[in-house]
């Protein structure tokens, strides 16, 4: 799709160059495990990637706009790229993209102690994870521009991202809100919990963990009925609201 292909060693070196420049030029990102980031950093990252990996392909060919955003809404995907459907019918200078990077995945990065991967590549730090997700989204933008559609589960995308960034997968194994809460609060599905609701103390069990826990509380008027005929009411409870005992 682009006439660019690097070997893994070269890719590693280029990522190091991007990091070095980022540490110099970003107001927030000064180390691998930064605690602050702004949308300006995403614009800076884009410039650096265009220069260091993409031979200024965007500067030379791209006439449209890309809006970069840090998103708190993205929970399952770590990034997202959108453009209008009729991109082939739009004048080049009117083409617009919105690239979102999930803030949740960055904030949760260290909340589980296991190896994390993005695109089949190990992310050893929160900066790695940001960069690998960014690489994935940039390839979506390139594919949209060249092919007028983009799908990361298909072969052309995988070829593109493998050639330039060495990714071997289109998925990530970063830390979602559920897993972060499990390790932060020690709570998992099946656990019995108590919490305050109005003036009463509720008891139930955790059915699912996301940013909030889904808790099922026995109640003879409840709308949820299990296999043995017990009825429950469902609550969404922030993990901090559980009453700790003992």
* Interacting residue ranges for Zn ion, rule: CB under 5 A: 152
106/152 with CB nearer Zn ion: 152
Distances (CA, A) of 162 to 9, 22, 152, 159, 172: 13, 23, 11, 5, 15
Do residues 207 and 216 make contact, with C-beta atoms less than 8 angstroms apart? yes
19/172 with CB nearer Zn ion: 172
| C-alpha to C-alpha distance for 4 and 159, rounded to whole angstroms | 11
Work out how close the CB of 171 gets to Zn ion at its nearest, in angstroms, rounded to a whole number.
9
Work out how close the CB of 149 gets to Zn ion at its nearest, in angstroms, rounded to a whole number.
12
Q: Which residue is nearest to Zn ion (CB)?
A: 152
**SS3 helix, strand, coil % of the chain, rounded to 5?**
40, 25, 35
Work out how close the CB of 20 gets to Zn ion at its nearest, in angstroms, rounded to a whole number.
27
Work out how close the CB of 136 gets to Zn ion at its nearest, in angstroms, rounded to a whole number.
6
Question: In whole angstroms, what separates CA 137 from the centre of its chain?
Answer: 10
| C-alpha to C-alpha distance for 65 and 93, rounded to whole angstroms | 8
Work out how close the CB of 157 gets to Zn ion at its nearest, in angstroms, rounded to a whole number.
7
117/235 with CB nearer Zn ion: 117
69/231 with CB nearer Zn ion: 69
152/177 with CB nearer Zn ion: 152
Would you list the DSSP string of 21-74? HHHHH-SS--STT-S---HHHHHHHHHHHHHHTSTTHHHHH--SEEEEEEESS-
152/193 with CB nearer Zn ion: 152
Work out how close the CB of 152 gets to Zn ion at its nearest, in angstroms, rounded to a whole number.
3
User: Of 142, 147, 123, nearest to 133 (Cα)?
Assistant: 123
Q: In this structure, what token pair is assigned to residue 112? A: 């589980």
């Amino acid at each position: 799709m682009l006439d660019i292909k690097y070997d893994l060693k070269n890719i590693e070196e280029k990522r190091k160059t991007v990091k070095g420049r980022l540490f110099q030029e970003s107001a927030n990102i000064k180390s691998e495990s930064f605690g602050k980031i702004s949308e300006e950093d995403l614009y800076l990252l884009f410039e650096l990637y265009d220069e260091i990996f993409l031979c200024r392909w965007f500067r030379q060919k791209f006439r449209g706009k890309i809006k970069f955003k840090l998103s708190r809404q993205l929970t399952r995907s770590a990034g997202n790229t959108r453009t209008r459907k009729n991109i082939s019918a739009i004048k080049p200078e009117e083409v617009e993209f919105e690239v979102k990077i999930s803030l949740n995945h960055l904030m949760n990065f260290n909340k589980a102690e296991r190896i994390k991967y993005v695109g089949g590549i190990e992310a050893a730090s929160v900066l790695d994870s940001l960069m690998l997700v960014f690489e994935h989204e940039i390839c979506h933008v390139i594919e949209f521009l060249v092919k007028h559609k983009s799908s990361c589960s298909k072969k052309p995308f995988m070829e593109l991202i493998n050639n330039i960034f060495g990714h071997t997968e289109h998925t990530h194994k970063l830390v979602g809100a559920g897993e972060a809460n499990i390790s932060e609060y020690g709570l998992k599905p099946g656990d019995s919990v108590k919490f305050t609701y109005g003036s009463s103390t509720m008891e139930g069990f955790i059915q699912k963990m996301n940013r909030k826990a889904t808790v099922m509380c026995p109640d003879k008027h409840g709308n949820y009925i299990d296999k043995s005929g017990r009825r429950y009411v469902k609550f969404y409870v922030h993990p901090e609201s559980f009453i700790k005992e003992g």
